[in-house]
Amino acid sequence: MKKWLGFIFVLLLCFPTTTSAHTKLKTATPAPNSTVTTEMRELTLTFGGRIENTSTFSVLDKAGKPMTPLTLTREEKSITGSLAKPLSNGSYTVDWNVIGEDGHVMKGSYSFTVKLPEQKAAPTPSATQPKASVSPTTQVPQKAEQSAEATSSSPVLWIAGILGLGAVASLIWLFVRRKA
């Protein structure tokens, strides 16, 4: 009986660490629910733990159509997606699917909006205005460097935890009842 109680005690101590070891989205550029006002060609998702090379994400427009081509680059804890063309004004959803180093598949999504300022039309030169020479300038797109914690707790983990605790309580009840 003491061996079983010791085993159950150790099991209970180990249970919380195994359920909290899953990889979660730590930061994202652009951030969830943000509005981007600069040209957007690159998205980066950073996770709290190591992710496998098969991890992926996609960018969907308001109609649910994937934005292609999207070239993904994976690092130890992050995935960066590069688009051939910058995103136009509108709402977008990022759907991600990663496999953590513990082998568990984690999925999630978040939305953001692109709202670029309207470009003013260049005035047409008139005969009275002198012509100005225009030198080409390069604009460097700025990243929306906001971080947001993804707060997604899986109902499956909660159900498994409750069932596990119920099973342990049932075993303890059976052992106590046999002794009596």
pLDDT one-digit tens code per residue, 1-23: 677 666 666 666 665 544 445 78
For residue 52, pLDDT beyond 90 = yes
pLDDT at 144 over 60: no
Per-residue pLDDT band for 60 (boundaries 50, 70, 90) equals: very high
The pLDDT of residue 143 is 34
| Confidence check: pLDDT of 140 > 60 | no
Handedness of CA 96, 50, 55, 17 (dihedral sign): negative
Asked: is 24-117+144-152 a CATH 2.60.40.1220 domain? The reply is yes
pLDDT beyond 90 at 123: no
Per-residue model confidence (pLDDT) at position 142: 32
- Which segment of 24-28, 85-89, 176-180 scores lowest on mean pLDDT? 176-180
Instruction: Return the domain boundaries, the chain.
Output: 1-22+154-180, 24-117+144-152
Residue 43 predicted with pLDDT over 90: yes
Q: Are residues 168 and 4 in contact, defined by beta-carbon separation less than 8 angstroms?
A: no
